Structure 1
Amino acid sequence: MISETQKQRILEAIAANRKNYPSDAKHASALGISPSVYNGLKKGQTEKALSDANWVNIARRLDVNLRESIKWKGAQTETFKYISLQMEACQERSLSVILCDLPNIGKTYTARWYVHEHRNAVYVDCSQVKTKRALVKKIAKEFGVGTSGKYQDTYEDLVYYLRSMERPLVVLDEAGDLQYEAFLELKALWNATEMCCGWYMMGADGLRAKIDRMVECQKVGYAEIFSRYGGKYSKVTPDQADERKAFLLEQARVVATVNAPKGMDIGQIVRKSSGGLRRVYTEIEKIKKGA
């Protein structure tokens, strides 16, 4: 059962997300609700407005945490600055980039933040939409394009919309999880939206290994995809082990500094984290909930 407090939290997220869409109708479509229901939500009407399933669906899409959690502030880590600048360039100039780097350094957090703050940018977790059809429908839905008809109609409507709108950006996280047909469809989408849409593909070292392996085996489409995404891999972390360790610990320090309660031993939190940002969150959560 969705409580009124949770509904209000979701309404706040809906209001914050509105700026990323050109109209209420497009926003309503992206959220999967009718314009009339959307209008009621804008007025604060929550009683019998949606089923619990619909509330949960919107909360998931807008990344609303339905359980009580600690307040968390974004930090200007090197990863945050590097990725956000790259995404901005991709969106402004309709470029395409592949970022392959270590997990747990803030890639996903930065991507979600960027999409939340920039109009016409969408985030797709490819681990949840691994097939061709699921991927294209997810991208279409994020932009507010209808997905109820035939797949080919959805695809063509999406291409038309991407070519018509002002500087769209598609962020593809966990791209290494995509099936082969989905990669081929990304190539087709790139071809259809060349110079009209920015694409930002992210993953860990497995994505790089997958692309390199497929290119070496001359698997159809992979060399073309790699070429269209710049023909190189971007990376934030240093290659040398000692430099990489220092880099990760510094990131952990920056994040802990802006989120830990005053008076806490930042160094101790950083040491316990070993440079992992999820561990930084866990340590600070234990401190705040135990206070």
Structure 2
Amino acid sequence: MDHLTKQQISDQLRKRVEATSGNKVATALKISPATISHMLGGKWENISPEMWRSVQKQLEPGNKGWMFVETKEATRLKSILSDCKEHSMVFGICAPAGFGKSEITKAFTEQENVFKINCNEFFNRKTFLAELLEQMHQDNGGYSINEMLNKVIKKVNQMDSPVIILDEADKLSDQVLFFFITLYNALQDKCGLILIATDHLEKRIKRGVDSNKKGYKEIFSRLGRRFVNFPAYSLASIKQIVRANGIDDEETVNMIVNDCESDIRRVKRLVLARRLEGAA
């Protein structure tokens, strides 16, 4: 690979780093921060051609890779998740559809003893516990509900600062949602618990409380009688995400910001479309 190509790769890499940070770009590209530093600093002699080609491919406009950007909104959510994990707290968190809740919680699962369940409408108590045991890398076959719950409790008691995240908790049926009370009672002060969803979950639980529906007052009480609500992404944060994912032209950046309706899924769709146009 010639010197000019390496310089072009280095320039592209610099734009990504300036939009986020060297460590975040290194994580996204699956290379070391030291390699990033050497590529930007012109210390190229010990960087193999294979490494240059790998970085070049990942930085190409048509590459489907998507870089997670730690915006102020993502940082706030991760801070709450960390508090919950560290202090075995219980939270209900609401954020708009398209906020990127699943992406942020997925990034958080890279930490030790973080277990995330992607909730589904078809879950019953047994399939819910089977999924939780699978996330904990535990055998989940051939057990009763009570036996499965005891396995979860036993595993949690062996861990340092575990946390269970129920993503899209508003999809859960009443039967499984009420099982949250059982989990809370069994794991109180031993494990953090988080329900995360759109504001539909908050409205559903408050309606249940107001109508005195069985179980809902107990759930609301265990959540501290309040939800943590996140507003839509700021325009500045959306611009940060767009630029970090390879769009540098200010007119295009503004077009995406104005067209996305603060929906990160739509941001991703628009960015990838522009990158593919640039690669054509």
Same fold by TM-score, threshold 0.5 exceeded? yes
Structure 1 residue 127 displacement after superposition = 2.1
Matched with 2:214 is: 220
Pair 1:99 & 2:86 matched: no
Q: The residue matched to 1:127 in structure 2 has which SS? A: coil
8 Å Cα contact 1:96/1:198 also seen in 2: yes
Q: Does 91-100 or 280-289 show the bigger shift?
A: 280-289
Tell me how far 1:263 sits from its aligned partner: 3.8
> Residue 279 of structure 1 is aligned with which of 241, 244, 266?
266
- Structure 2 unmatched ranges of 5 or more: 1-29, 31-61
2:246 maps to 1:252: no
Listed as ranges, the gaps of 5+ residues in structure 1 are 1-15, 17-67, 238-243
Report the counterpart of residue 187 of structure 2 in structure 1.
Answer: 193
Q: 1:171 aligns with which of 150, 165, 170?
A: 165
Pairwise CA RMSD: 1.9
Structure 2 Cα separation of the partners of residues 209 and 157 of structure 1: 33
Query: Are positions 1:232 and 2:226 aligned together?
Result: yes
Point out the structure with max Rg over C-alpha: 2
How far is the alpha carbon of 1:129 from its aligned partner?
A: 5.3
Shift of 1:262: 3.7
Take 2:98 and 2:67, find their aligned partners in 1: how far apart are those partners?
Answer: 17
**CA–CA separation in structure 1 for the residues paired with 2:97 and 2:120:** 14
Q: Cα offset for 1:161? A: 1.0
- Which amino acid is the alignment partner of residue 223 of structure 1? K
d(CA) in 1 for partners of 2:63, 2:150: 41
Aligned counterpart for 2:129 among listed residues 124, 136, 144: 136
Distance (whole Å) between structure 2 residues aligned to residue 222 and residue 270 of structure 1: 39
Cα offset, 1:112, TM superposition: 0.7
Aligned counterpart, 2:113? 120
Instruction: Note if 1:146 corresponds to 2:139.
Output: yes
Identity of aligned residues (%): 21
Larger relative contact order, structure 1 or 2 (CA cutoff 8 Å, min sep 6): 2
C-alpha distance in structure 2 between counterparts of 1:250 and 1:104, whole Å = 16
- What count of residue pairs does the alignment treat as equivalent? 216
Segment drifting more, 177-186 vs 255-264? 255-264
For residues 115 and 147 of structure 2, the distance between their equivalents in structure 1, rounded to whole angstroms, comes to 20
Is the 1:79–1:107 Cα contact (8 Å) retained in structure 2? no
**2:150 maps to 1:156:** yes
Q: Distance in 2 between matches of 1:140 and 1:275?
A: 35
Partners of 1:279 and 1:181 in 2: how far apart?
34
Matched, 1:270 2:257: yes
- Give me the whole-angstrom Cα distance separating, in 2, the residues matched to 1:120 and 1:232: 26
Per the TM alignment, residue 274 of structure 1 is displaced from its structure 2 partner at its CA by 2.5
- Letter of the 2:237 partner, please give it: Q
- Distance (Å, rounded) in 1 between the aligned partners of 2:269 and 2:132: 32
Partner of 1:79: 73
Question: Are the counterparts in 1 of residues 84 and 163 from structure 2 also a CA contact under 8 Å?
Answer: yes
